[in-house]
Amino acid sequence: MSETPIWRRDFPYTSAGEEGVTRREFTRFLMAASVAAAGSGGLMAIWAQLRPINTGEARPVAELAEIPIGGSHLFQYPTDRDPAILLRLAEDEMVAFSQKCTHLGCVVFWNPEDTVLECPCHEGFFNLEGRPIAGPPERPLGRIELEVRDGTVWALGAREGMT
Amino acid sequence: MRRVRRTQVATAVMVYVILLLGLQLFLLAVAAEAFLASEPGLAWGATAISTVLAAGTVGFYLYFRRA
């Protein structure tokens, strides 16, 4: 007479694989995960190589007279879904950046008191060149080239970090 | 005796494969970061190393099957 455990009598249900996973099966699973990881990296590399980067076309984004010195102006560039910020640092000195934080994509804002661009999500800070100076971001903000034409500020194109 | 050795080989192979997979996960994070930064060169480098590690994993598994 076979000894049936008490728990088996109380719970007489079985399922496939309940005997456990052997080392060989587990190693096979790990091998598949390993190949999948390499393949995923390859797909990302191919995607990064082939995807087009929209650097935008030249278009007016603001009237110079409407932006006070030391102030900022929000606009969208290169598409209507890409928030950007323009900073007027001096009479004839302006810079513009993508507002997407390069950490996790939160919107950065201009902090005139500390003269930094600040990401409120994880306390990321960028200087006036768009370089990260504190917090988790490690890549610079996307920079937008500007030009003033007859009192109007034009965005000419985006570079560095614009995706 | 042979059974004990086989168990030891199985465990050793499993540990090696887990270590390699851990490295690959790190490389996958590197590739993802490179993708977000639009730096395909870095993504390709991480993928190349990851592929070598994957080949090592497959090699370990094949050795395990023969052992």
Token output for A87: 């900073």
pLDDT at A134: 93
Closest Cα in chain A to B45: A45
Distances (CA, A) of B27 to A48, A117, B21, B36: 15, 31, 10, 14
Strand stretches in chain A, DSSP E? 59-63, 72-76, 83-90, 93-98, 109-111, 116-119, 124-126, 132-134, 143-149, 152-159
pLDDT at B9: 83
Q: Can you tell me the ipTM of this complex?
A: 0.90
Phi, psi of A157 (to 5 degrees): 165, 160
In this prediction the pTM is 0.61
DSSP symbol at A63 = E
Q: Which residues of chain A have a CB within 8 Å of the CB of B36?
A: 102, 163
Q: Say if the Cβ atoms of A27 and B10 lie within 8 Å.
A: yes
Average pLDDT of the residues in B1-17: 81
The answer to whether the CB of B40 falls within 8 A of the CB of A49 is: yes
Distance CA B26, CA B22 (A): 7
Q: Say if the Cβ atoms of B43 and A41 lie within 8 Å.
A: yes
- Residue-level pLDDT, tens digit, chain A, 163 residues: 567 888 878 877 777 656 667 888 888 899 999 999 999 999 999 998 888 776 778 889 999 999 999 899 999 988 888 999 999 998 889 999 999 998 888 999 999 999 999 999 999 999 999 999 999 998 899 999 999 999 999 999 887 555 4
- How many contacts does A have with B, using Cβ atoms within 8 A? 95
Distance CA A115, CA A128 (A): 7
Instruction: Tell which B residues from 6 to 65 touch A, by Cβ distance under 8 Å.
Output: 7, 10-11, 13-14, 17-18, 20-21, 24-25, 27-28, 31-32, 34-40, 43-44, 46-47, 50-51, 53-54, 57-58, 60-61, 64-65
pLDDT at A98: 93
A11-48 b/e (C-beta count within 10 Å ≥ 16 → b): eeeeeeeeeeeeeeeebbebbebbbebbebbbebbeeb
DSSP symbol at A140 = P
Q: Say if the Cβ atoms of A41 and B47 lie within 8 Å.
A: yes
What confidence tens digit (pLDDT) does each residue in B41-56 have? 999 999 999 999 999 9
Q: Which of B28, B49, B53, B62 to mutate to test the interface with A (most CBs of A within 10 A)?
A: B28
